[in-house]
Chains A and B, each alone.
Chain A
Amino acid sequence: MNDSKQATSSDDNFTVKVGLAEMLKGGAIMDVTNADQAKIAEDAGAIAVMALERIPSDIRKDGGVARMSDPDMIRQIQDTVSIPVMAKCRIGHFAEAQILQALEVDFIDESEVLTPADEANHVAKHDFKVPFVCGSTCLGEALRRIGEGAAMMRTKGEAGSGNIVEAVRHMRTIQNEMKRLTIMSKEQLMSEAKNIGAPYDLICYVAEHGKLPVPNFSAGGIATPADAALVRQLGAEAVFVGSGIFMSEDPAARAAAIVKATTYYDDPETLLEVSSGLKAGMKGLLMQDISPEDRLATRGW
């Protein structure tokens, strides 16, 4: 039966979506704004690139409404690299997601970095063939996104800040909440589902396994190899690097160093080697200098 029938159950579809996220583990996904940057990222060993018109720190500076990128720009990047290409749609903007799927991007990031299109609802992600990644700051939010069909999660951190403090806060929060579930009695799980606003079956999954049913990566503030190593040691299975690379003085060298630090995240000697000789990193922002209404991590419901 060489020409076997293609299996198309929804379980298989979800396995194939989460499968791509599994393939990205232990790697670095880099924000790029044009084909040249995409090439630099790929040559440095990025496992995927995120195509967007402006990196988060510029979106923050420029103000205005941030939308899905120009499809032509994404296409140029797809034509340049052979690694997976991701792109962002606005929260709840399922029409942008449909366009990105028609463009055949490999992953859609329903992202708080863009201006939300819907202040109550996210995209119904199970309806798409392309997998989605979403950000979260806590376990309830992560499980709501997975319930909607996200095949991969990432911490939100604070995009464009170059400051790791929020990514650490979100990763620690999620890890602590998961640990808490594993020691709860069965009777407490429904109440916890109610309290954190998460689907009951996913609460039960986490209580049993101590981890999310999809890979959990870190994003939002990673600027150095040491930052990548820190979030990996805290439980992130891979890292997204946004402004941290192309806002630095020597993007190619920094990109390569972050790739290596992500793989050898728990080996201080390798981390020392790859951290040495890098030119200046991005300047970064203190959290007290970002007013509450300008914080991107608060977007998403």
Chain B
Amino acid sequence: MSDVVGVLALQGAYEKHVEMLSGLGVESRLVRFARELDDCCALIIPGGESTTMSLLIQKFNLYDILREFAEKKPVMGVCAGAILMAETVDDSRVIPLKIMPITALRNNYGRQVSSFSANLNLKCDDEDSAYAAHFIRAPGLASNNDIVEELASYNNEPVMMRMGLHMALSFHPELTNDDRVHVCWLSGFHPSFQ
């Protein structure tokens, strides 16, 4: 199996994920066409605007392809990416991919003036130190399903969730120099982290 990680590059913070992966010695590929997904071992759906990304996914016939990909391979969704991975979204303009049984609330924390940084405890690593997370017009995430595991919370609300090898996050791990979130996700499947 290939060990190239795809990064959906329709719009948003895709380059920051490529930089993070490159720093970890992981090869990545920007994905805008279905054919570019073919030999990817996993996919990151980055932050950006979920309405714009959803529209481009529909227009360029990526919807079924992304869903099929997620049935076999790991996906990590960040912010807008987490919204797209959800089962339900509080905005009819976003057609979610239904990759994880979660509900996403767009702009749950308000407009940009309410964007913030906060220290989190990640349940997926053994390190004791806090993880400085950046929330930008961040979505709220919720799930009642037992197969979804909460890996971090803020004010008692989940902000990082895992189901099997899939992960969904409200905050932006690509905007820090701390690679623990990417390592946490990659260590579930990537040959370099076994």
Instruction: List A residues at the B interface (Cβ < 8 Å).
Output: 1-9, 12-13, 15-16, 19-20, 22-27, 42-43, 45-48, 78, 82-84, 101, 104-107, 129-131, 259-260, 262-264, 267
Contacts and interface: CB of A to CB of B under 8 A. Distances in A.
A19 B49 contact: no
Given A4-B120, A26-B48, A83-B49, A20 B136 contact: yes
Contacts of B111: 78, 84, 104-106
22 contacts: A6-B118, A12-B132, A13-B117, A15-B134, A16-B117, A19-B134, A24-B48, A25-B13, A26-B9, A26-B11, A26-B48, A27-B11, A42-B51, A45-B56, A47-B11, A83-B52, A84-B49, A106-B111, A107-B112, A131-B112, A263-B10, A263-B11
Contacts of B113: 101, 104, 106, 129-130
A27 B115 contact: no
B154 interface: yes
Nearest to A264: B32
A267 B33 CA distance: 10
Nearest to B132: A7
A105 B137 CA distance: 12
Interface string B129-150: 0101011110000000000000
A1 B130 contact: yes
A7 B13 contact: no
A185 B13 CA distance: 32
Given A2-B156, A3-B156, 15 more contacts: A2-B121, A4-B118, A5-B118, A6-B118, A7-B116, A8-B117, A12-B117, A23-B136, A42-B51, A45-B55, A47-B48, A82-B51, A82-B107, A260-B59, A267-B32
A192 B79 CA distance: 40
Contacts, number: 141
B10 A26 contact: yes
B56 to A, nearest CB: 6
A-B residue pairs, 3 tightest by C-beta: A12-B117, A106-B112, A26-B11
Which of B112, B120, B172 has the most C-beta atoms of chain A within 10 angstroms of its own C-beta? B112
A22 B52 contact: no
Interface residues of B, number: 47
**Most chain A beta-carbon neighbours within 10 Å: one of B12, B16, B120:** B12
A47 B47 CA distance: 12
Interface string B47-88: 111011001100100000000000000000001100000000
Contacts of A43: 93
A4 B130 contact: yes
A26 B14 contact: yes
A19 B176 CA distance: 10
A259 B54 CA distance: 13
Contacts of A13: 117
B121 A15 contact: no
B192 interface: no
Nearest to B119: A4
B15 interface: yes
A170 to B, nearest CB: 22
Interface string B84-114: 0000000101000000000000110011110
